[in-house]
Amino acid sequence: MKRVIVGLSGGVDSSVAAYLLKEQGYEVIGLFMKNWHDDSVTISNECPWLDDSNDAMLVAEKLGIPFQTVDLSKEYKERIVDYMFKEYESGRTPNPDVLCNREIKFDVFMKIALDLGADFVATGHYCRKGHLEKNEKTIYQLLAGKDQNKDQSYFLCQLSQEQLSKTLFPIGELTKPEVRAIATKLDLVTAEKKDSQGLCFIGKVKLPDFLQQQLKPKAGVIVEIPEEQEYYFEATPNFNSQKEKLDYLARKIQYSKADGKIVGEHQGAHFFTKGQRKGLAVGGTAEPLFVLDTDVDENVIYTGQGKNHPGLLKKALFVKSDDIHWIREDLALQMEESMEVMARIRYRQPLEKAKLYQFEHGLYVEFEKDQSAITEGQFVAWYLEDELVGSGVIS
């Protein structure tokens, strides 16, 4: 009998995943990961991880499976929290959920599970796993979940063949309503529980509060850039090569305070991210202001009116060589090769037509349509039909 360790998070998805595995005849063990101790940054006085671990324990009891809690807060702090602060400080916007899966759930947690004699680990992600044989070798595929509204493959875009080979996604073939219905029928305590929001595992954390613990507030100005600014209307130069053209499309505009007018103040450019609309607290504009860019060295936030402001839109992005990750290593592009794909730059964004171009120093992703708020530090993921084949950190 194969042994599977399920990451029971205290939510409905992982509860039903554990039940389905048991039905399929696996020996199932539930493991709850405790990743955070500091209760001073949760939104209210409820203690989410305690409630969650309690719910996970009740589910395990109900399903009749062994249950254990592991404390990973040391690894979580080192690999996720410290990294996030470093990224924000340098003006980039990390994606803690993608990292949490790569560094914690499918690395630290997986090692613990395998040490406990598990053949597989399982999670409540809405995605599916496939496989194919190529040159007498099994290759694993990460496929989108059946539920289009809930597909979570994007969050797993950094997984490796090795990690995928030992992972199961029991609810990938189901929709959220079907998962809830199973939980209700089993009378699980998590059946009606709302989906968790907030940082992966820390619970309901307010990001600015969380950041403020480490990054000191520092007053600076908010500058509004008019959409008539001449650099938005430059004539496109003639390019001598594809690479020159891609460089141009992916370029970053260097803003300065002289380009617009000062419309307000803020408490630290590193608390803001491209495309952000809330929290600027500047009124009186015809359309809402969006963050176009932040300059953490000068501590200035550049903004523009309306979601179609030219400063938000771009057709291409660049991923440095070190930051390119192929789940399907067999499909990795060689020098000067290109590939038509579907891609997204954030979770739940509909997939968009794009083309990848590989060069010596990295990879360009050129979209057919303009993309809004392409953000450094976030992940771009590319797909062939419903298979996520690779991803990279936007540079």
Active-site positions?
A: 100, 200
Contact 60, 188 (CB under 8 A): no
Q: Which residues in 238-288 belong to E strands, given as ranges?
A: 261-266
Token digits of residue 50: 């305690």
Contact 327, 379 (CB under 8 A): no
At which residue do the structure tokens 């539920």 appear?
147
- For 12-76, give the DSSP string: HHHHHHHHHHHHTT-EEEEEEEE----GGGBSSS--HHHHHHHHHHHHHHHHT--EEEEE-HHHH
Q: Measure the CA–CA gap between 156 and 380, rounded to whole angstroms.
A: 12
- For 154-190, give the DSSP string: GGGTT--HHHHHTEE-TTTTS-HHHHHHHHHHTT-TT
> Which residues are bridge partners to 387 per DSSP?
143, 384
- The count of other CB atoms within 10 Å of the CB of residue 328 is 18
Q: Measure the CA–CA gap between 343 and 347, rounded to whole angstroms.
A: 11
* Three-state secondary-structure class, residue 121: strand
Q: Computed over its alpha carbons, how large is the radius of gyration of the chain?
A: 23
- Side chain identity at 38, as an amino acid letter? D
At which residue do the structure tokens 């390019």 appear?
239
Q: Could you tell me which of 192, 170, 33 has the C-alpha nearest to residue 103? A: 33
